[in-house]
Structure 1
Amino acid sequence: MNREPKISEIEKLISHFKNTGREDELFEVLEKHNIKGADPEILVDEYTHEINDQADVISKISRKEKLRVTHHRPFGPAIDFIKHKWYVRYTAYYILLFIGILVFLNAPILIERARAVDSKQAKLLTVQDIETYAMEKSAPLEPGEVVPAGSQIVIPKIGVTVPIIYVTTSDEKTIQENLTKGVVHYPGTADPGTVGNSFITGHSSNFWWIKGNYNYVFVNLNKLAVGDQAKIYHNGNKYVYQVKEVKVVDPTDTSVLAQTDTPVLTLMTCTPTGTNWKRLIVTFDQISPKYVKPKIVTKQVLGTPDSLPSTDTNSTGGVILSIRDSIKNLFGY
């Protein structure tokens, strides 16, 4: 008849297996001797979750002797830990239940994200573009009006009609020589009728012994006021301008040469009359033909597809790629 071993006998048995390096066989021997609780799977009662008394003794002795038990099953220690600890087991149940409810409530979203996106289709892209408006080549002519040959500026209020001379250098001597022939278009500035600042200078006075028909052409330029008009004939076209600003600047203020994003005319002469102390600046806006500034617009265009269309989507490779794309979409890759 089998009897329950004494604790001292169990200690000797454990010591023996420890000294011989055969700790793995310990539970087999304990079970062979009919010691309850020897199997680690029944150390804890499955229904009451209470530790068996003898199993508790064996566990304490094993811990005291620092014995190790080798599990021959994959993830054996983790599985045993969960099975033998009721609070771990129930915690796992609640976590799984929570995940299940979360998946159920968000099923439409997950399904939508898991759908494979066809990367072979061209996608709509939002881009910005510059929208320009065509401007008429010339302002309308009055009845009987004829566009003169060459370039000419007409300022009705002060009775000025004078040719515009174009030079290729800003050399002072060159400009002064050409001012005897008319008014001078400053090199590097915009042509009349184009976007930018068309800068023109002319004499308001000169020495009486210097010959020239245009020594006093801009002598009355200071009489112009906001709203007065001038017109330029250039390359067979007519352009009408209206005064926007009249001001006096220092000779060193070169900001009046700055280019603009609309068609602008700037006239300059020396002031006070008979001196070159300051510069009188009259700025005009082009009012005919009317210029409309480009604007930035947002629109959608077809982009380039990520890849060429496939001809074997029903093949094994096509199915695998479709599954891969679904997984990537599900996790937001």
Structure 2
Amino acid sequence: MGLRTRSANRSLAPKLITIAAVIFLGGGLYLLSLVSAPMLLPVVSSQARSIDPSTLESPRTNDNRIIIPRIGVNIPYGAEDSSLETGALWRYPDRGSPEQGGNFILAAHRFTLAPTPQQTALRSPFYHIDKVQVGDNVVVDFNGKRYGYEINEIKTVQPSQVEVEAPSDTAKITLYSCGLDGAEGDRIVLVGSPIGEVKVGSDPRQASST
């Protein structure tokens, strides 16, 4: 009886090892899919590719949005911390807005790991912020109107360099996100100048300054 038990245990061991290896490999592949989701989705999803601003729907008063055409970003923003779950956070609303001028500051996550690849991509809207270039246009929907900005400065700062959020007498937009190494690492900052209100169905470069 003892010999049979030991023999059964020996035959069971390879099966358990195989099962464990499959689980480990499957878990690793799933984790890899989560980590690579923001990078891969623009390739497999037409909704995540570059955006033609002239095809955007009309702005709505209850749906403020930031659109970065080059990297396919079209997300809502708000002043509540929960806005970071699905979009961008409007920091210090009293310091600026498209309507009032000043320093209009929006921040969003560059990479946040979530339970599924789709959720990971949704919570990592600024993953490709490093691909934005000087001269690119950014579109902002605010209170039912559409405004255009042109990026004229791109820089990397440390978390302690909070002057990027300082009040400004000059109207501008400041977009920033943490690096891929987390909140303790450097931040990528984009600064843009307003180019006026954008008509629905037109390119931001045709914005009116009035």
Quote how far apart the aligned CAs of 1:144 are.
8.0
Segments of 5+ residues of structure 2 without an aligned counterpart are: 1-52, 198-207
Q: Are 1:256 and 2:168 an aligned pair?
A: no
SS of the counterpart of 1:179?
helix
CA distance 1:192–1:213, change in 2 (3 Å) = farther
> How far apart, CA to CA, are the structure 2 residues paired with 1:186 and 1:254?
12
- Is the Cα contact below 8 Å between 1:184 and 1:200 reproduced in 2? yes
SS of the counterpart of 2:96?
coil
Match of residue 178 from structure 1: 83
CA distance 1:248–1:234, change in 2 (3 Å) = same
**2:123 partner letter:** N
Match of residue 155 from structure 2: 247
CA distance 1:220–1:212, change in 2 (3 Å) = closer
**1:183 partner letter:** A
| 1:205 equivalent among 73, 88, 111 | 111
Match of residue 153 from structure 1: 66
The CA deviation string for residues 180-228 of structure 1, in whole angstroms up to 9 with x for no partner, is 0311100232122322000000011012338566321000011111100
SS of the counterpart of 1:255?
helix
**1:201 partner letter:** A
Q: Are 1:275 and 2:178 an aligned pair?
A: no
The CA deviation string for residues 221-269 of structure 1, in whole angstroms up to 9 with x for no partner, is 1111110011001111110000010001010111001122232110010
With the length of structure 1 as denominator, give the TM-score of the two structures.
0.40
SS of the counterpart of 2:85?
coil
The CA deviation string for residues 151-184 of structure 1, in whole angstroms up to 9 with x for no partner, is 01111100000001123xxxxxxx3x43103111
> How far apart, CA to CA, are the structure 1 residues paired with 2:182 and 2:54?
39
- Is the Cα contact below 8 Å between 1:197 and 1:257 reproduced in 2? yes
Q: How many residues of Structure 1 are paired with residues of Structure 2 in the alignment?
A: 143
- Is the Cα contact below 8 Å between 1:203 and 1:214 reproduced in 2? no
Segments of 5+ residues of structure 1 without an aligned counterpart are: 1-140, 168-174, 293-333
**2:182 partner letter:** T
Higher helix share: 2
Quote how far apart the aligned CAs of 1:275 are.
2.2
Q: Are 1:266 and 2:174 an aligned pair?
A: yes
**2:59 partner letter:** V
User: How do 1:286-305 residues align onto structure 2 when only pairs under 5 Å count?
Assistant: 286-289=194-197
> How far apart, CA to CA, are the structure 2 residues paired with 1:284 and 1:212?
28
CA RMSD in angstroms comes to 2.4
CA distance 1:144–1:183, change in 2 (3 Å) = closer
> How far apart, CA to CA, are the structure 2 residues paired with 1:165 and 1:212?
20
Match of residue 214 from structure 1: 122
Q: Are 1:189 and 2:102 an aligned pair?
A: no
The CA deviation string for residues 61-110 of structure 1, in whole angstroms up to 9 with x for no partner, is xxxxxxxxxxxxxxxxxxxxxxxxxxxxxxxxxxxxxxxxxxxxxxxxxx
> How far apart, CA to CA, are the structure 1 residues paired with 2:83 and 2:56?
31
Quote how far apart the aligned CAs of 1:142 are.
5.2
- Is the Cα contact below 8 Å between 2:114 and 2:120 reproduced in 1? no
- Is the Cα contact below 8 Å between 1:197 and 1:259 reproduced in 2? yes
Quote how far apart the aligned CAs of 1:143 are.
8.2
SS of the counterpart of 1:217?
coil
> How far apart, CA to CA, are the structure 2 residues paired with 1:201 and 1:144?
22
User: Which entry has the higher C-alpha Rg, 1 or 2?
Assistant: 1
**1:198 partner letter:** F
Match of residue 300 from structure 1: none
> How far apart, CA to CA, are the structure 2 residues paired with 1:161 and 1:220?
13
